[in-house]
Amino acid sequence: MHQGLFRSRFSAMLLLTILFPAAKNRLMRLRLLLSLSLFSLFQFSVAPVAVAQLVFTSNDDTAHSRPQYEAASQTFREAFERYVRNDSIVGASYVIVKEGRVVERHSLGQADRELNQPVDEHTIFHWGSITKTLTAVAIMQLRDRGKLSLDDSITRYVPELNRIHSDYGPVSQVTLRHLLSHTSGFQNPTWPYRDDDKPWQPFEPTEWSQLVAMMPYQELAFKPGSRFSYSNPAFIYLARVIEKVSGLPWQTYIRRNILIPVGMKRSYFNLSPPSLAKDRSNNYTVFVNEKGDETVKTNGREFDTGITTPNGGLNAPLDDLVRWVSFLTRKAAVTGSTVLSRSSLEEMWRPVVPVTATAEHPQSMGLSFFLDRRKFSSETITFIGHTGSQAGFRAFLEFNPRNGFAVIAGFNTSRAYGHNEAENKSAQISQKGFNDLRELSLLMLQ
């Protein structure tokens, strides 16, 4: 017998042995026999093991270890529901993504409690500091196009920063790499002068000139590159670089070079366009008095992040974040090469500086992304992600670059702090619950 024909018939017999018992009715079995009979007539030189692997992959593409995933998924879902309930969160949602496809979606509560509007797949959340990942990818784009170097001094593009005081040498030693990795020494808050108890004050400063006016009253906290310290204004300065190099406003550049190519069609910044306003979630803050009594305040759907938009202004439904994480993991049919190469993304995921040194939960900072290295029984995995928190919104995004698994979660309620001891304790418990939930999500991504 011809060797190729032998292999094709052997493959057909192997497939029949595997698949025939699984067929659920006579019609399916007849179709299977017909298909395999036709298959055996052709002299394909396909190894039977390869054929069997193809069948298994097509039938088991949700998770590489389904029982382990399902157990972790159920544990996370129960913890998510418990956290939402115990923390008085009005509305929340999460999705689990595998290779660019949503394999699980779970929503709870209301996007707007006054209108009795439930959270659903169309709900638009605010993503806060996850916006920084867009700004960082834009910088890497311009680097790859030969427009700048990560080792360029920030003062080359933003000379106003020379006004900031430094006891550690000139501010000109701060590079774009320092800004991306939160090692610049610049302050954490963009505008620490706002009084949250005075609603007449702007939510954030709206003009660059306001930031420049306060620079002589600021200082570098340490020698650039020597340690980690999260800085929100660092990403405003990076946005100034993008604008100067590209000649475009930051929002225009991001939309043209990231949002549109990736397919984030319902994403926008700050105030909602009329066509999307109905889907935007309201947001809420839980206040606690000295006796421990809670009051949930409605903050209003619309707010303007002003000059801070590049570090926290993104609004989007979860499905657009699915497209973003699918690009990052390069597991979906998006034109990723037109946005950023895989090698440049992996460069962003290399550790630059430690964030926490605990043996149990070590965390490092890459270029705008947080890296969580976790040891499991059989392997060590570095998960990539970012969190966001602004107004009443909180969110996290985590993914495993090895297998394309990701989890994205958004909440429309947070807790106030600073008014009394009971409220501060409440906020601490809430933050711990948030951190524990994020940590639990990593177990699903193995």
Domain range summary for the chain, segments of one domain joined by + = 3-59, 66-445
Give the homologous superfamily in CATH for domain 66-445.
DD-peptidase/beta-lactamase superfamily (3.40.710.10)
Q: Kindly tell me the burial class for residue 296, based on how many C-beta atoms sit within 10 Å of its own C-beta (0-12, 13-18, 19 or more).
A: middle
Whether residue 5 is predicted with pLDDT greater than 80 in this model: the reply is no
Q: Residue 397: phi, psi to the nearest 5?
A: -135, 125
Whether residue 27 is predicted with pLDDT greater than 70 in this model: the reply is no
pLDDT band, residue 7 (cuts 50/70/90):
very low
Tens of pLDDT along 95-148? 999 988 999 999 999 999 999 999 999 999 999 999 999 999 999 999 999 999
* Amino acid letter, residue 397: L
Whether residue 53 is predicted with pLDDT greater than 90 in this model: the reply is no
DSSP 148: -
Decide: 388 and 127 in contact? Cβ < 8 Å. Answer: yes
pTM here is: 0.84
DSSP 417: -
DSSP 377: S
pLDDT band, residue 29 (cuts 50/70/90):
very low
Enumerate long-range contacts of 39-43, CB under 8 Å, 24 or more apart: 39/8, 39/11, 39/12, 39/15, 40/5, 40/8, 40/9, 40/12, 41/8, 42/8, 43/2, 43/4, 43/5, 43/8
Tens of pLDDT along 322-378? 999 999 998 555 444 689 999 999 999 999 999 987 888 899 999 999 999 999 988
Q: Which of 364, 270, 280, 271 is nearest to 310 (CA)?
A: 270
Decide: 317 and 272 in contact? Cβ < 8 Å. Answer: no
Bridge partners of residue 395, in order along the sequence: 388, 410
In sign, the C-alpha dihedral spanning 321, 322, 324, 325 is: positive
Tens of pLDDT along 149-164? 999 999 999 999 999 9
Decide: 337 and 345 in contact? Cβ < 8 Å. Answer: no
pLDDT at 39: 36
pLDDT at 47: 29
pLDDT at 359: 80
Element (H, E) at 77: helix 66-86
Tens of pLDDT along 404-426? 999 999 999 999 999 999 999 99
